[in-house]
A and B are shown apart, each in its own frame.
Chain A
Amino acid sequence: MLELSGVSYRYAGYPDPVLHDVDLTLADGEIVGVVGANESGKSTLCLVVSGLAPGSVGGQLTGGGLSIDGQPMAGRPLHEFVTRVGIGFQNPATQLSGVTGSVFEEVALGPMNLGASRRDTVQRTRQALATLGIEGLAERAPRRLSGGQAQLVVLASLLAMRPGHLVLDEPTAQLDPEGSLLVASALRELAATGTALLVAEHKTDILEGLCTRIMALADGRTVADGAPAEVFGDARLTDWGVDPPARIRLDRLVRERGLDPAQVLP
Chain B
Amino acid sequence: MSRLVPATPTAFHRLNPLTKVTLATTGSVGAVIVGGYLGPLTILGVMIALAAQAGVLRALLRASLFLTLPLAISVVLVSVFTRAGTTVLFQVGPFDATMEGVDFAGQTLVRLLAISMSIGLFVMTTEPRAFVFDLERRGVPPRAAFVAVATIEAVPTLIERAGVIGESQRARGLDTEGSLRARLRGLIPIVAPLILGSLTDVEERSLALESRAFSRPGRRHLLWTMPDSSPERVLRWALVLVLVLAGIARITGRI
* A, B bound: yes
Q: CB within 8 Å of B: which residues of A?
A: 47, 50, 52, 55-57, 77-79, 82-83, 86-89, 91, 94-99, 101-102, 104-105, 108-110, 112-118, 121-122, 139, 143, 154, 157-158, 161
Known: A52-B210, A82-B213, A122-B223. A94 touches B205 (CB 8 A): yes
> Shortest beta-carbon distance, B96 to chain A, in Å?
54
**Cβ-closest chain B residue relative to A116:** B221
Residue pairs across A and B with CB atoms within 8 Å: the count is: 101
Q: Could you list 16 further interchain pairs (A-B, Cβ under 8 angstroms) beyond the known A56-B207, A105-B4, A158-B211?
A: A56-B210, A57-B207, A77-B216, A79-B213, A87-B207, A89-B204, A91-B204, A94-B201, A98-B154, A101-B129, A104-B1, A112-B221, A113-B216, A114-B216, A115-B216, A115-B218
A131 to B210, CA, bound (A): 23
> Shortest beta-carbon distance, B132 to chain A, in Å?
9
Contact pick for B223, options A88, A96, A98, A108, CB 8 Å: A108
Contact pick for A110, options B142, B153, B212, CB 8 Å: B212
A90 to B144, CA, bound (A): 27
B220 on the A face (CB < 8 A): yes
A47 to B142, CA, bound (A): 25
List 21 A-B pairs, Cβ < 8 Å: A52-B207, A56-B210, A57-B207, A78-B215, A79-B216, A82-B211, A82-B213, A87-B207, A89-B207, A91-B204, A97-B212, A98-B153, A98-B157, A99-B149, A104-B1, A109-B212, A112-B220, A113-B213, A118-B222, A118-B223, A161-B213
Q: Is the CB of B220 within 8 A of A56?
A: no
Q: Is the CB of B1 within 8 A of A118?
A: no
A94 to B153, CA, bound (A): 12
> Shortest beta-carbon distance, A244 to chain B, in Å?
30
Q: Is the CB of B207 within 8 A of A143?
A: no
B241 on the A face (CB < 8 A): no
> Shortest beta-carbon distance, B144 to chain A, in Å?
12
A35 to B208, CA, bound (A): 22
**Leading 4 A-B pairs by shortest Cβ distance:** A79-B216, A94-B204, A113-B213, A95-B208
Known: A77-B215, A78-B210, A113-B212. A143 touches B153 (CB 8 A): yes
Residues of A within 8 Å of B223, CB to CB, are: 105, 108, 112, 118, 121-122
Residues of A within 8 Å of B138, CB to CB, are: none
